[in-house]
A and B are shown apart, each in its own frame.
Chain A
Amino acid sequence: MKVYVIDNGGQWTHREWRVLKYLKVDTKIVPNNTPFEEMKDVDALVLSGGSPSIASEAGRMGLNGEYLDKADFPILGICAGMQFTSTHFGGTMGPALRPEYGKATLHVEKDGDLFDGLPREFTVWESHNDEVKDLPDEFEILAHSENCRIEAIRHRTRPIYGLQFHPEVENTEHGYDIFKNFLKVVERRKS
């Protein structure tokens, strides 16, 4: 299985690569201006988190939009990756009323593939100044936290997922399980 990590400049981009590598996935970190055609043989993409405000500044998210338009394989957007995904499909984002850094409690509302077999409440690690304000109709909310209404999303018809928190960080509980659940989606679509 081949899953590339699109580098949007996050502090934990390399951690996403490490988690995928530990899960025995053929993986590589690539710049976010890598032409889609060069990644034709991948089975999925992870859109990494980014440097501050990157998701709302034109041009800085490179070709992330093109990947979302053209991919027929699963995509998981993390932090800025999720924020960009929602705005790309017509949602809105903006500065969070209460930004979250470090520890938070996640409340799962729906399994939505990613949370299959996981508890309804667990500790996750956050690092964001912005948040998704309005979600486009094609998406549904899967989880929230005390200070953030939209912590996890799923596209209703396409295999596109988003997480505001960081499953790749050691302090996040069930981080590996969430990646494994995403990889199960990838596996199902392959076969």
Chain B
Amino acid sequence: MFDAEEFVNEKIEELKGQIPGRAIIACSGGVDSTVAAVMVSRAIGDKLLTIYVNNGFMRKGETEDVDLMFGRLGINYKLVDASDEFFNAMKGVTEPEAKRKIIGERFIRVFEREAKAYHAEYLVQGTIAPDWIESGDGVRDTIKSHHNVGGLPKDMDLTVVEPLRDLYKDEVRIVARYLGIEVSERQPFPGPALAIRVIGEATREAVEVVREACAIVEEELEKASKQKRMERPWQYFAVLLPCQSVGVQGDRRAYGRTIAVRSVESIDGMSAAYSKVPYEVLERISFRITSEMKANVNRVVYDITNKPPATIEWE
């Protein structure tokens, strides 16, 4: 079916020719960009600098975990905190495509600065097939602009290299296992991160709410799968909805926000079925969100839509 050894050997040879000078790689610590970082670092060694950007929309504890993981990988890396820059750019922005494009451009501006400082002309990205397919092109409709493809500004001065362009997530995982990369089984997490899990404007406050809710969803579903009460889903998270509803909390009227829980099964992200999570597990998630986050959220709903017609993320 898919031969990881053959793929890695061929790509490393190709990359040596493709990148004659220095390069930086945009790496979130997820499976795609980490695989790309390891492959390119095998191809060009110390001429590669791995850059992780904290855009302010990362999950709970994520930046610290990525820092440790890069350290263990023994690659040349740098963490950049650009959260102020990203939050400022998102002020007043609510339209999903606008959000994705602004984030895509911000990333590139950060990478341009870092590339200049490192004297690099090449930008490596962990782009995989669904990223360019869904971003659209001459013949294909744009479903959503992935930040690393449809979100790239026209006036960028870096040459983009994308060694994983023709692979899907399941194939990237096979390569990751072959390379012994510890994040091989990590769930997908989109580049625009929590900014697209807040429907409406991604303010610091709203991102904080969805960050907490995402952490609870991850903890509970991972616990349930460890206890063999269910298979660990392909992707699972919370979305903060821009609608309020009436509730009653301790005999007091509440008028709080709504969290949608999303969990899907997929192989490649191009089609997906919603997860049949046991009711008890959903109930536990609902209970934890509404009690631990009671000042913010008084209602939790579960998304029962497949892809198509929905997409996995809400934006």
Contact = CB atoms under 8 A, between A and B. Distances in A.
Interface of A: 7-15, 18, 22, 31-32, 50-52, 101-103, 125-127, 166, 169-171
7 contacts: A11-B141, A13-B133, A15-B268, A101-B306, A102-B306, A102-B309, A126-B308
B2 A9 contact: no
B273 interface: yes
Nearest to A51: B141
A171 B307 CA distance: 10
Contact of B140 (A11, A102, A125, A166): A11
A159 B143 CA distance: 34
B110 interface: no
A170 B266 contact: yes
A15 B169 CA distance: 12
B270 A102 contact: no
Contacts of B117: none
Contact of B1 (A7, A22, A102, A126): A22
A31 B2 CA distance: 25
Chain B interface size band reads 20 to 34
Contacts of B168: 18
A170 B139 contact: no
Contacts of B267: 170
Interface in B119-155: 129, 133-134, 139-141, 143
A9 B139 contact: yes
Contacts of B309: 101-102, 127
A169 B307 CA distance: 11
Interface string B270-305: 111100000000000000000000000000000000
Contacts of B307: 102
Contacts of B140: 9-11, 13, 51
Given A11-B141, A103-B273, 15 more contacts: A7-B139, A10-B140, A12-B271, A14-B133, A14-B166, A22-B2, A50-B139, A101-B306, A101-B308, A102-B271, A102-B309, A103-B306, A125-B308, A127-B308, A169-B271
Given A51-B141, A52-B141, A103-B306, A11 B273 contact: no
Q: Tell me which of B266, B271, B273 has the highest count of chain A C-beta atoms within 10 A of its own C-beta.
A: B271
Contacts, number: 58
Interface string B257-273: 00000000011101111
Contact of A11 (B1, B266, B270, B272): B270
A125 B140 CA distance: 20
Q: Tell me which of B139, B272, B306 has the highest count of chain A C-beta atoms within 10 A of its own C-beta.
A: B139
Contact of B143 (A11, A15, A22, A170): A11
Which 5 residue pairs are nearest across A and B when measured between Cβ atoms?
A9-B139, A101-B309, A102-B306, A170-B267, A101-B308
Given A11-B133, A127-B308, A169 B2 contact: no
A22 B268 CA distance: 15
Contacts of A102: 271, 273, 306-309
A8 B139 contact: yes
A51 to B, nearest CB: 4
Contacts of B134: 11
Interface in B242-267: 266-267
B139 A51 contact: yes
Nearest to B266: A170
Contacts of B273: 102-103, 171
A121 to B, nearest CB: 18
B303 to A, nearest CB: 13
A151 B119 CA distance: 56
Q: Tell me which of A12, A14, A51, A125 has the highest count of chain B C-beta atoms within 10 A of its own C-beta.
A: A14
Contacts of B268: 15, 170
A11 B139 CA distance: 10
A127 B307 CA distance: 9
B268 to A, nearest CB: 6
A11 B140 CA distance: 7
Contacts of A103: 273, 306
A103 B265 CA distance: 13
Interface in B1-40: 1-2
A169 B133 CA distance: 14
B270 A12 contact: yes
Contacts of A11: 133-134, 140-141, 143, 270
A183 to B, nearest CB: 16
A125 B271 contact: yes
B170 to A, nearest CB: 9
Contacts of A13: 133, 140
A47 to B, nearest CB: 13
